[in-house]
Structure 1
């Protein structure tokens, strides 16, 4: 049975890997394991050891604490079943595209989105 913490950490690994445009194979090579192990981590099937999480955090350019961000909030909202933005591929693609836009244009796009959401 998957532990909720392992599932959360796996989602965060997948999210960060995807945000930096890295494949499972590339991450596995940097960490020194097979890509199938990355798949198991990302689904929560296998637990990530502390030392392996340290290696993954270095490969993905984040602190170890990144993988635990939002865990308390997720645990407290179990009955609400909100849409998990980290598992929505379209939302992640939009976020990645948003951050690839130059900052001044990104700000204008953000203002436009805010106006459109207020009008809806």
Structure 2
């Protein structure tokens, strides 16, 4: 479960930076297949490699553990089969499109619109 979470955070950051698995692998001296295995949680990431990834992706090592559910540390519990929102392709595509908007005022307007929409929808549910 921990490897899966760390892998999803790796994928998130790589995608937000617009790097392919091949390009990230090249920067680390790895194949894209190894990056794939890391991202899917098939292979765990050693501490030294995690440090290297953090440097290449310009994030602190703690980034890979952000938003980790407490259940990830409990091996006795069954894994959550629903992917976390930050690991979904839709979320990644939305974030990439959002940051392609160059005008900060337009970007802030979209941010405010989304927040207002969520507030309105949550208000209707209650």
Q: TM-score range by the shorter chain?
A: 0.7 to 0.9
Change (3 A) 1:83 1:41: closer
Could you say which residue in structure 1 is the equivalent of 2:124?
none
Consecutive unaligned residues of structure 1, counting only runs of 5 or more, are none
2:47 is the alignment partner of 1:70:
no
8 Å contact kept, 2:14–2:57: yes
Instruction: Work out the CA distance in 1 between the residues paired with 2:19 and 2:120.
Output: 37
Deviations 1:52-95 (A, max 9, x none): 1111111111111100111145649x898776212221121111
Task: Give the TM-score normalised by the residue count of structure 1.
Answer: 0.83
1:79, 1:7 → 2: CA distance? 10
What's the RMSD between the two structures over aligned residues?
A: 2.3
- Counterpart contact for 1:85–1:92, Cα < 8 Å: no
Residue aligning to 1:107: 108
SS at match of 1:96: helix
* Structure 1 pair 49–79 and aligned structure 2 pair: CA distance change class (3 A): closer
TM-score (norm 2): 0.80
Query: Deviation of residue 5 (structure 1)?
Result: 0.6
